[in-house]
Amino acid sequence: MPKIVNSWNDFDPLKHAIVGRADFSMIPPEEPATSEKVPVDSEMRGMWGPRPTETVEKANEQLDNYVAVLEKHGVKVDRPTPLQWNQHIQTPDFRNDSMMTAMPPRDILLTIGNEIMASANSFRCRYFEYLAYWPLMNEYFENDPEFKWSQAPRPRLTDKSYKHNYYDEKISLEDRLIRTANKDFVTTEVEPMWDAADVMRVGKDLFIQHGLTTNRKAMEWFKRYYPDLRVHSVNFPGDPYPIHIDATFVPLRPGLIINNPHRPLPVEQRAIFEANDWQIVEAAKPAHDGPPPLCYSSVWLSMNCLVLDHKTVVVEESEVYQAEQMDKLGMNVIPVPFRDAYPFGGGLHCATADVYREGGMEDYFPNQVEDPTLV
């Protein structure tokens, strides 16, 4: 039987992926974790319910076109089975008035080697999102005898998982930046919580963003679960709403990473990259002044690209500065329109979960450095 699942990083040749779908997507109701993520001036504050049908249709058109482009470049693409996300959910510990979407599989699914693990998200509305991917997981399980189908420990997400009164309408942007620089986030440390999109895989090393969606206990959990890998906690103080590493710190090929210039990696955390001759370059500026309407993510989805191999990258069509920089860095750029899909959960990288990339577990960082901020 063939090997279906294998992926160790975000840059080796991509052969098989899962691309999300926008069907039935919701703006979820406010809850302890999401109220921290939605910017104070966002039009989404206080709003919840099904997303307008025409926006869903437009997003799906762009997702379908993206799939066609990937297929043209030799990537096999699978799609999830969306649920009716407007259903209310309940566990013994909480209830929530709706779920969210199955547009960004990369938030939920983490592929490491022959294993795909569903994450331990801190948003209650995302608690059952993994179900949209279970038909595919089952298919891989039946057809690839080496595939490890797994699920991180489910967080309980009781009120103890969040700091109370952390969010205060009066808090200024400066205060917010001080808090995030001090690694003071809304989530507590009572249980491991993490989004898959906070994990940057680079062979034997995992760089995991400590932020609103991933806590320190998750780092410790990763360390014990993957004893052959090295886990590094990273954080980016310039981001007032730090969720997901993939619009902040994006590897393009071995030895090269683009870093959001508003969210530079702190100097002491650069040591491991310097010791191994990795270059960190500032990403190009976004082509837009802001994200599209009803979008959770920032304008920096401009750098949320999908690398197809060491020389080829998919970039959002209107992001001309980012495309130009990629070209200068020696990458062939495939432009794809995607801004209509942004509000549903992010950019091209967010919308794509790896199933198979060629290559194995390489050691890109043989010179490990002692750093008190790393786990």
Rounded CA separation 310/320 (Å): 20
Q: In the numeric block, which tokens belong to residue 311? A: 């020389």
322 near ligand DAV, rule: CB under 6 A = no
Check if the beta carbon of residue 301 is closer than 8 Å to that of residue 260: no
Identify the DSSP state of 103. Answer: S
User: Least distance to ligand DAV from the beta carbon of 345, Å?
Assistant: 7
Interface with ligand DAV (CB under 6 A), residue from 187, 269, 297, 352:
297
Q: Which x/- pattern, by CB under 6 A, does the window 194-233 give for ligand DAV?
A: ---x------------------------------------
| First CA to last CA distance, the chain | 39
CA atoms within 13 A on the CB side of 354: 30
Stretch of 214-222, 294-302, 332-340, 356-364 contacting ligand DAV, by CB under 6 A: 294-302
The helix or strand, by DSSP H or E, that contains position 149, with its residue range, turns out to be strand 148-151
342 near ligand DAV, rule: CB under 6 A = no
Residue 6 or 9: which CB sits closer to ligand DAV? Answer: 9
Residue 282 or 358: which CB sits closer to ligand DAV? Answer: 282
Q: Which of 210, 340, 350, 354 is flagged as catalytic?
A: 350
> Residue 9's beta-bridge partner residues?
202
Interface with ligand DAV (CB under 6 A), residue from 298, 312, 322, 352:
298
Residue 244 annotated to the active site: yes
**Which residue type sits at 75?**
V
Rounded CA separation 238/261 (Å): 9
CA dist 374 to 121, 208, 246, Å?
Answer: 22, 10, 19
34 near ligand DAV, rule: CB under 6 A = no
Residue 218 or 350: which CB sits closer to ligand DAV? Answer: 350
Residue 195 annotated to the active site: yes
Check if the beta carbon of residue 119 is closer than 8 Å to that of residue 225: no
User: Least distance to ligand DAV from the beta carbon of 301, Å?
Assistant: 6
Q: Which of 244, 309, 340, 349 is flagged as catalytic?
A: 244
What torsion, rounded to 10 degrees, do the Cα atoms 374, 185, 180, 200 define? 50
Residue 111 or 298: which CB sits closer to ligand DAV? Answer: 298
Q: Which x/- pattern, by CB under 6 A, does the window 228-257 give for ligand DAV?
A: ---------------xx-xx----------
Query: Phi and psi of 333, rounded to 5°?
Result: -105, 130
Q: In the numeric block, which tokens belong to residue 35? A: 């109220």
Residue 147 or 249: which CB sits closer to ligand DAV? Answer: 249
Residues of this chain that bind ligand DAV (CB under 6 A) = 197, 243-244, 246-247, 297-298, 300, 346, 350
* Catalytically annotated residues: 195, 244, 350
